[in-house]
Amino acid sequence: MELARPVLLVTKKSFYEVYGLDRKDAGFLAQLDKDRELAGFLMADYEENRDVIASVETFLKQEKVPFQRVSPGQRIEDGQFRLIVAVGGDGTLLAASHEAVTTPVVGINSRPGRSIGYFCASDRGDFPAVLGAILSGAMQPTTLSRMDIWINGERRFPPALNDVLYCADSPAATSVYRLRLGEAEEIQRSSGVWISTPAGSTAGIGAAGGRKMNLSGSSMQFLVREPYVGAGIGYKLDHGVFGDGLCLTSLTPHASIFVDGSRIAFELNYGDRVEPRISATPLRIYLQG
């Protein structure tokens, strides 16, 4: 086994760990005292996640594989680790993927009964076999397309594995923008626009009515979310699959682009141009066979 570089563990923090143990939120703890069913549910989530993380650490120690543990969102220098192991669910893996340029990633679902773990290659039952195969070189990663976001001609970090959402900062506000694809162009009003990679086509955009795409593809997809269609109003650019050439100009005073969920957001000014492009750095990831 290669021992020169350590493995990076990116580990989920459960709701109870964040609000009960770390922040000691008085309102949260008072609610748990009143709602024993909720308390039991959150404690089970916390304990199962904690136990799986401990099991992964024990396995790596037994295999004499050095490792470093961080929480989602902590910045690392790509290339200093041989492998990134995300223990949690898809949210944890998405956060881990944002730190990976060349380093491969594998996900371990810490609570398969509750978390979908679409990108996770294993769970607490089979992770020793999966990690063993990866560390020995018997299992090889695949590559998934990612999306770079360019704002006013400047590429923003990180690339999105799943999707980006353009919308007004207030969820109650209408988003106004100009959408252009090729020669077609129109001003629209809606609650926002989803733009996804093939990997993200089963996530938010799928729930909004988008189509499932081939996971190994390199196209992108957009979908206008809750379009405002009044009398005599209809949009030609309400959905579609594209490779390049989509440009969204924000005409909303307070709007943002959200990358792979709510954790990463870029504020937009009136007239800012957003252009999604297939990234030159796809994600190397180990998936279920």
Alpha helices in 23-79 (DSSP H): 26-34, 36-62
pLDDT of residue 25: 97
pLDDT tier, 4 (very low <50, low <70, confident <90, very high otherwise): low
pLDDT at 2 over 50: no
pLDDT at 195 over 90: yes
**DSSP helix/strand/coil, 256:** strand
**DSSP helix/strand/coil, 49:** helix
Distance, in Å, from the CA atom of 83 to the CA atom of 97, rounded to the nearest integer, reads 11
pLDDT at 214 over 90: yes
Instruction: Give the residue, 87 or 3, on which the prediction is more confident.
Output: 87
Return the half-sphere exposure (C-beta side, CA atoms, 13 A cut-off) of residue 65.
26
pLDDT of residue 75: 85
Read off the pLDDT of residues 226-265 as tens digits, 9 standing for 90 and up.
999 876 778 999 999 999 999 999 999 999 999 999 999 9
Q: Phi first, then psi: what are they for 190, rounded to 5°?
A: -165, -170
pLDDT of residue 186: 95
Distance, in Å, from the CA atom of 166 to the CA atom of 170, rounded to the nearest integer, reads 12
The pTM of this model reads 0.92
pLDDT at 137 over 60: yes
Where exactly are the structural domains of the chain? 7-140, 147-279
User: Which option is the CATH number for 7-140: 3.40.50, 3.30.70, 3.30.1370, 1.10.510?
Assistant: 3.40.50
Distance, in Å, from the CA atom of 285 to the CA atom of 289, rounded to the nearest integer, reads 12
Q: Phi first, then psi: what are they for 241, rounded to 5°?
A: -110, 135
pLDDT at 187 over 50: yes
**Range in 100-114, 224-238, 266-280 the model is least confident about:** 224-238
pLDDT of residue 76: 83
Q: Does domain 147-279 sit in CATH 1.10.3210.10?
A: no
Q: Which residues pair with 44 in a beta bridge?
A: none
Mean local confidence (pLDDT), 121-127 = 94
Mean pLDDT across the chain: 94
pLDDT of residue 1: 45
pLDDT at 79 over 70: yes
Q: Is the dihedral of CA 54, 55, 59, 60 positive or negative?
A: negative
Distance, in Å, from the CA atom of 73 to the CA atom of 95, rounded to the nearest integer, reads 6
Report the candidate in 116, 112, 55, 62 with the shortest Cα–Cα distance to residue 85.
Answer: 55
